[in-house]
Structure 1
Amino acid sequence: MIEQDVQRVCDLISSRRQVGVRTIIAIAGPPASGKSTLADAVVQSLNTQQSSAVPSATLVPMDGYHLDNCVLETRGLLARKGAPETFDGVGFCAAIRELQFTRHESFHPKFDRTMDLAIANAIAVHPATPVVVVEGNYLLMDSDPWRNLTDVYAATVFISPTLEELENRLQNRWISHGFDPQTALQRAIANDLPNAERVIRDSRKADLILSQNYTEFGMRNAF
């Protein structure tokens, strides 16, 4: 059950709280692994545990740093959207590193799946919020620029269902977007699954590794 994993992550965060800097936690995994669902649930849990008006935790997804479709089309990368080179990885890493020490309110982009684009300044991080949970596919990749955040994360979590389960979820995701089952499967095999295999193969070992199936919790929110 997801509740058990949420508690495990919250306990990990509690044990890794930083002094003098903001505590930044990475939740990584391949597409459709359930990391967005878990990360959102963790932030909600942390915020229900405190009575202050200031959020105890804020979620900053990597997806907000998708390059715009026009940029991807110009570079011939639109069909590869979701691959590492289709993100502003350098900008993302710089923004997360700055969150460690910033003492002012900061704003971050959020990806809108319906519109298929990033919305600038859609996420506000309060200067007094002590924990930021970051989630995304490539947070633990052992290559630049992603590994430049190795010393920033107070703790890391990796979610990795089987490739068979990921294929089913990815196909169902495209079906939910209106594609027939065969086209949905082709899309998953052509781009999403290679990205998933790359994440699993090239990510560093996390402090906590999970393989829980979050289907019952609502996989339509997972990414």
Structure 2
Amino acid sequence: MVQKNRTAHFSRYITFTRDEWAQLRASTPMPLTEEDLVKLHGINEQVSLSEVDEIYLPLSRLLNLYVDATRNLYLASSRFLGHLEEKVPYIIGIAGSVAVGKSTTARIIQALLERWPSHPRVDLVTTDGFLYPNHVLEERGLMNRKGFPESYDVRSLIRFLADVKSGKPAVSAPVYSHLTYDIVPGEYKVVEHPDIVIVEGLNVLQTGGTTTTKPQLFVSDFFDFTIYVDAEEHQIKQWYIERFQKLRETAFRKRESYFQRYSLLSEEEAISTASHIWDTVNAVNLRENILPTRARAQLILTKGPHHAVQLARLRKL
């Protein structure tokens, strides 16, 4: 059992080193193979089985305990009220910067959680599908602010989460294409009777400014557990540049790619362009909107080089 020093200083979090966190796996079996990981990691992330073993298996065990505890609380409440309502899905929110690896984190967590027998139906939804279509962003002068809070149809996202949380049998979410850089017309992801829903996005923990005295509803109000994937900004910038270079050699070369023009850049030009985009767009969004929400997360996973998690900070109950 991991023994933590709780008297050193006051904190809302218990901090675990990588080794301490890995001990919390206990006897949780490894359900993934190297072949599975190839399908799960991002374009510039090579997640190893040891990373899953030491970081994500303990996390899946923790989440499984939380899901079961929430289900028991729901059953106790139902007994008290004298009736049993529709099953309410457990919703996990995952936030973090562009290029920090939150999408890979979400996919690995989904793959692990759906292998637990008590909750086999695990859906993953990204908030990219709730971005306004490009023609709307262009009309509002927001194309250079894509990914910022104002570029999302927050009302539709909240309506989606409210429907999921209310136990509706089938709820649809719009689909976004990173290749065409736009919402796919007429295409939807349907979430049906899920046990768990993972919602991944840049600003899912944001509350925004209060402009009215009326109560406000936020995306995070629907979450049962929240995770923030963290790293030093200089490291995230490097990952962004590396990802841009790989996309220049792959997806950007496709005819239907919105960014096909970048495939013609030299390596030096690509690095310069990616660095400029990071400095003028993604870094601004990170500092102004994403990073300030980190302290709202129940679990903060802090990465070091090669996307390896070095610290885990779990909020005290």
Same structural fold, with TM-score higher than 0.5 when normalized by the shorter chain: yes
CA shift at 1:38, angstroms?
0.5
Give the number of the structure whose alpha-carbon radius of gyration is greater. 2
**Which residue is 2:229 aligned to?**
159
Range 82-91 or range 102-111, more displaced: 102-111
CA shift at 1:104, angstroms?
1.4
Are 1:68 and 2:104 counterparts? no
Unaligned runs of 5+ in 2: 1-49, 75-86, 211-215, 249-261, 263-269, 309-317
CA shift at 1:125, angstroms?
1.1
Per the alignment, do residues 34 and 214 of structure 1 end up closer, same or farther by CA in structure 2, a change over 3 Å counting? farther
In 1, Cα distance between equivalents of 2:223 and 2:217: 10
In 2, Cα distance between equivalents of 1:195 and 1:130: 32
Are 1:14 and 2:14 counterparts? no
Report SS of the residue matched to 2:206.
Answer: coil
Report SS of the residue matched to 2:104.
Answer: helix
**Which residue is 1:124 aligned to?**
190
Report SS of the residue matched to 2:297.
Answer: coil
CA shift at 1:143, angstroms?
1.7
CA shift at 1:144, angstroms?
6.0
What are the equivalent positions in structure 2 for 1:137-216 lying under 5 Å apart? 137-143=202-208, 148-178=218-248, 179=262, 180-198=270-288, 199-213=290-304, 215=306
Range 154-163 or range 199-208, more displaced: 199-208
In 1, Cα distance between equivalents of 2:135 and 2:238: 30
Conserved 8 A contact 2:207-2:218: no
Report SS of the residue matched to 1:211.
Answer: strand
Letter of the structure 2 residue corresponding to residue 6 of structure 1:
Y
CA shift at 1:147, angstroms?
6.1
Matched residues, number: 214
Report SS of the residue matched to 2:188.
Answer: strand
Are 1:104 and 2:169 counterparts? yes
- Of 92, 115, 122 in structure 2, the residue corresponding to residue 48 of structure 1 is 115
Conserved 8 A contact 1:2-1:212: no
CA shift at 1:36, angstroms?
0.5
Report SS of the residue matched to 2:221.
Answer: coil
In 1, Cα distance between equivalents of 2:145 and 2:118: 44
Q: Deviations over 1:155-198 (max 9, x none)?
A: 11111111001111222233334342111111111101111222
In 2, Cα distance between equivalents of 1:8 and 1:111: 31
Unaligned runs of 5+ in 1: 218-223
Conserved 8 A contact 1:138-1:203: no
Identity of aligned residues (%): 23
Letter of the structure 2 residue corresponding to residue 181 of structure 1:
I
Letter of the structure 2 residue corresponding to residue 189 of structure 1:
D
In 2, Cα distance between equivalents of 1:8 and 1:142: 29
Conserved 8 A contact 1:2-1:38: no
